[in-house]
Amino acid sequence: MKSVKSNQKQKQQQNNDDVSPFHFSKLLDPEASWDKDQLGDVLSYDGLHSPDALAVTAAGIVVDLSEVPSTKTVAGVRIGLVGDRFIVNPTTKQMEESELDLMLAGTDNALSLEL
């Protein structure tokens, strides 16, 4: 009986130690002047396309759906150039032939790019 109570107590402590993104966002002070970073891991992808642009868009969606105060939605896209054709979200094979590797991220009125 003692080991059952001990296991229950240990499990409860583990649950208390877990901080889900929803609970963590409630800990952030909306009036704080410090930067808030969001990190993400790609758990699965198709293996054909680079996951970085999708990760940027997913991070923007997560912030929008969370309680973290935000004023704009961020999205990302990769652009390649094969021959005279621009390709949005090209495959890794297309990127090997591409003359351009452009990663864009931004909002409706601000843009960041990486060549």
Instruction: Give the number of domains in the chain.
Output: 1
Q: Which pLDDT belongs to residue 17?
A: 43
Q: What is the C-alpha to C-alpha distance for residues 100 and 71, in angstroms, rounded to an integer?
A: 32
Q: Which pLDDT belongs to residue 14?
A: 46
Q: Which pLDDT belongs to residue 89?
A: 94
Q: Note whether residue 88 is domain-resident.
A: yes
Q: Note whether residue 44 is domain-resident.
A: no
Q: Which pLDDT belongs to residue 25?
A: 45
φ, ψ at 41 (rounded to 5°) = -115, 135
Q: What is the pLDDT of residues 49-75, one digit of tens each?
A: 888 888 888 888 988 898 877 778 889
Q: Which pLDDT belongs to residue 29?
A: 53
User: Among all chains, which residue has been given the structure tokens 């990486």?
Assistant: 114
Helix, strand and coil content of the chain, in percent to the nearest 5, comes to: 35, 20, 40
Q: Note whether residue 43 is domain-resident.
A: no
CATH label of the domain that carries residue 10: 3.30.230.70
Amino acid residing at 17: D
Q: What is the C-alpha to C-alpha distance for residues 28 and 44, in angstroms, rounded to an integer?
A: 29
